[in-house]
Amino acid sequence: MFIGCTSTKNYVLKATPSIPPAKLAILPINNNTNDIAGGSIFRKLIFKDFQQKNSGYEIQDLEETDKLLNEAGITDGGQLQFFRPIELSEILGVDGLLYIDLDELKFLTYPYYHTRSVKGTFFLYNFEKLIWVKPIRVTTKYFGIKSMFNTVSGAISGDSDRLNDGLTQAGVDIAIHQGIKYATIAGFKHELIPEMTLVSKKLFDNIPRGSQANLSYVKKSEDEIKYLRDKISNKESIVTDEMYVEKKEKIDVLEEIIPILN
């Protein structure tokens, strides 16, 4: 097993960091893959983990989040970019927003090599302030060492029996991994649920603990939401340019590669 940090990418962080929020809405996935169902499953899995674990956040129910967003004309994660975070906080009545970019859902099967990979990028906001970003990828790699060795050595030496053994085993490996794919679909609704679960675990292990127990902060955040809603009721803008003074920081990808040799 390998855990490390890989290529860095620039993300925008607010110049004045805030403390972690207390009440968190897990926003609809911004799905950058072709797997539509995978995005919904991934979001529900993350929501379930936050519900079951003591994260320090009060988690808004997904149905409530989606209902309020739909009433504001937001029906999918791709539309979130047209709203400022503070506007979403006012709409949802929360101080915390968890944006999720689903960047990668891969299940590739080759004769001697198979890979399963999930990558998500997570953005934690406290009202208008981006206070934490983390791209997380989990990859399972299967290497058919024996079948590859027999195929190559048989081809080089002219040993047809060894060559056939290698090719046969490669075919078996493909069948096994296709079987794993369909078995995980049948048992978990998606073939990459194991990797999604590991990404969610890493998210939970790394995200700042919420401020739900900080009662004075909770009162201030509730007052802030009321203030924002009063301004909206009076048809006043809640967005000002001063809120969005930004700086660039490089964020490492938290990556785990699980090699399986056969």
Give domain limits for the chain. 2-143+194-261
In whole angstroms, how large is the CA radius of gyration of the chain? 23
CB 2 within 8 A of CB 140: no
Contact 60, 80 (CB under 8 A): no
Whether the model clears a pTM of 0.85, i.e. scores above it, the answer is no
CA distance linking residue 67 with residue 190, whole number of Å: 25
pLDDT per residue rounded down to tens, the chain (262 residues): 444 444 444 444 444 457 899 999 999 999 999 888 899 999 999 999 998 887 899 999 999 999 999 999 998 888 898 899 999 999 999 999 999 999 999 887 666 567 788 999 999 999 988 999 999 998 887 765 444 334 334 334 444 444 345 434 444 454 444 555 444 444 456 888 888 999 999 999 999 999 999 999 999 999 999 999 999 999 988 887 655 545 555 566 666 665 544 4
What is the predicted pLDDT for the residue at 11? 47
Rounded-to-integer distance, Cα 253 and Cα 134, Å = 7
Domain 2-143+194-261 has CATH 3.30.365.10: no
Cα dihedral 90, 36, 175, 151, rounded to 10, equals: -90
pLDDT for the residue 54: 79
Burial (CB count within 10 angstroms: exposed 0-12, middle 13-18, buried 19+), residue 214: middle
